[in-house]
Chains A and B, each alone.
Chain A
Amino acid sequence: MRTFYTWFCIFTTVCTAAAGDVLVALAMRRIGDLGDLRRRYGFFATIMRVVSSGVLFGGVFFMAVAFFSNLIGLSWADLSVVGPASAALTFVTNALGAKFFLHENVDRRRWLATLFVCFGVLLLTWS
């Protein structure tokens, strides 16, 4: 039963982490390069611009859910199982989310890198 709970936590972590990553990436794209903004407008204006983004807080909310789900999973299984298993699946869902929601150019190089990392993480998990 503990295995079922662990994988349920991993599934929850993957879905909410992907939603969080996509929303945070969308927010940061809209805000712009923080380094450039800080040089132009100063530190506090940049911070105000970041914290006034509703999309960012939506992303942070999903990341918080992923965090607590991961935290519970870590109490049931090793870091070297929960961490990589969640990450391997999150890489694929994030790549799909980035392609279809963020319209990023996920070319052959990025898919290859994603699959290499995903496969590597799976080997870490199921050894």
Chain B
Amino acid sequence: MTLRKYLVILSVVFFGSIGDALLARGMKHAGGIDIHHLANVFSALANPFVIAGIFFLLAFMFSYMTALSFADLTYVLPATAISYVVMVLLSIFWLHEHVSPQRWVGVGFIVIGVGVVAGGPSRTEHHSGRVADPKAVEERV
């Protein structure tokens, strides 16, 4: 794993957590959506927080796809779980939600999980050639 790849993982965390928090704030402003009027979800798309959240989640998607191009899904998902810790911090300081001691224990478990997976290899090598090699795909591009 190079510094660039760690930065890609960090950008997944950054854009994902901020995007989710923006969406949550926007949806609280938009109010509840009735099960019989699900189309009303589209009216929430006019909310500036929802719009900003969607832009952040698009950046998240690009970072996430880049991460999956060099690492396994079972590496990327636990490694980027630190975003839930960021979400808890955003819940406290921005959305003013209550965070109990039990939730802090949960945060501790997530941090340990991220530490465990980050110490291992990021990619499963498939000797049958399933992992795309730039030299191998040269003819296809």
User: Which residues of A come within 8 Å of B, CB atoms?
Assistant: 5, 21-22, 24-25, 28-37, 40-41, 45, 49-50, 56, 60, 63, 67-68, 71-72, 74-76, 78-80, 83-84, 87, 90-91, 94-95, 97-99, 102-107, 109-110, 112-127
Contact = CB atoms under 8 A, between A and B. Distances in A.
A67 B61 CA distance: 12
A113 to B, nearest CB: 4
Contact of B116 (A80, A90, A113): A113
B106 A122 contact: yes
Secondary structure of the A contact surface, majority rule: helix
A25 B84 contact: no
Contact of B24 (A36, A79, A94): A79
Contact of B69 (A31, A109, A113, A114): A31
A74 B24 contact: yes
B20 A29 contact: no
A76 B32 contact: yes
Given A33-B134, A34-B69, A106-B74, A80 B44 contact: no
Contact of A67 (B27, B57, B106): B57
Given A41-B141, A117-B110, A120-B108, A25 B68 contact: yes
A36 B57 CA distance: 24
A34 B66 CA distance: 6
